[in-house]
Amino acid sequence: MAETTPRNGFSRAAERLGERVYVMVQDLGAIFTLFLQFLSWVARPPSEIRNIIKQMEEVGVRSLPVVLVTATFTGMVLALQSYSGFQRFQATSFVGSVVALSITRELGPVFAGLMVSGRVGAAMAAELGTMKVTEQIDALITLATNPVKYLVVPRVVAATLVLPVLVVFADLVGILGGYFVSVYLLGSNPYVYVAKTYQYLEFKDIYTGLIKASVFGMLIALISCHHGFVAAGGAEGVGRATTRAVVASSMMVLISDYFMTSFMF
């Protein structure tokens, strides 16, 4: 008995791991298929412009407050931390550059992406999941409407277009947050701070951040729609789909961020 238990435990763990990997690969395949379907429907008439605008409001306007708060505090904490680091070798005048570069290249897009994953990803998965388990998706099909066209296209288009806009705001308030902490709390010279912010910031830093944001938006919407579509088993199933959507899209934001950064360096 004592001999067999650990082996059983190990093989069960291996089995569970294998199952997880299998499900993950299956999900990735399904999400890619959904992406292909999205491409085939996005340009076909009738245009879903009204739905797209509605989703843009949902993804953009409604997420703006949370993205602004996150970005402000990120800029502020960044100023504090880099000040304490640079102070050790008398380079505190570079705080402005570090804040600006970190926010535009990395933290603005990533934090906006994570916030939107949580807020919008959950909402999309819950809404589509509820539609699935209450047969509303079947009803769409019987009413001559393709669910990918009617539900996925507007969400993916809206998220792809709106996330970069959110990130522009995030970049602005992040840099401002850093400025206020540096100038009013840490006593940096405001002119030097602004000059250093501009000195090393290139246009490329900003637009690569915005491209990332666009990709994040698309991934979040695709992943969340997928998890909504495959929801099954009533309210509990919808809850599960929502959790999965948030976890998967947050992870994908971070994973894709690494690869995009390594390509666009």
Partner 1 sequence: MIGIRGLSKRFGKKVVLDGLDLTVPKGKNTVVIGGSGTGKSVLIKCVVGLLRSEGGEILIDGEDLTKMDERELVRVRRKFGMLFQGSALFDSLDVGDNVAFALRRLKLYPERQIRDVVEEKLSMVGLRDIQRLMPAELSGGMKKRVGLARAIASEPDIMLYDEPTTGLDPIMADVINDLIISLRESLGVTSITITHDMASAYKIADFIAMLYKGKIVEVGTPAEIRGSANPVVRQFVEGRAQGPITAENEEFLRFVRRSGGAEGKEEGR
Query: Could you tell me the smallest distance in angstroms from the CB atom of residue 159 to partner 1?
Result: 18
Give the per-residue SS3 of 126-186. Answer: HHHHHHHHCCHHHHHHHCCCCHHHHHHHHHHHHHHHHHHHHHHHHHHHHHHHHHHHHHHHC
Structural tokens at position 52: 């797209």
Return the number of the residue (135 or 202) whose C-beta is nearest partner 1: 135
Q: What backbone phi and psi angles, to 5 degrees, belong to 189?
A: -75, 120
Query: Could you tell me the smallest distance in angstroms from the CB atom of residue 151 to partner 1?
Result: 11
Q: What backbone phi and psi angles, to 5 degrees, belong to 201?
A: -85, 120
Query: Could you tell me the smallest distance in angstroms from the CB atom of residue 212 to partner 1?
Result: 31
Return the number of the residue (39 or 251) whose C-beta is nearest partner 1: 39
Return the number of the residue (40 or 81) whose C-beta is nearest partner 1: 40
Residues that bind partner 1 (CB under 8 A): 46, 127, 130-131, 134-136, 138-146, 233
* Cβ pair 201, 104 in contact under 8 A: yes
Return the number of the residue (14 or 141) whose C-beta is nearest partner 1: 141
Query: Could you tell me the smallest distance in angstroms from the CB atom of residue 248 to partner 1?
Result: 24
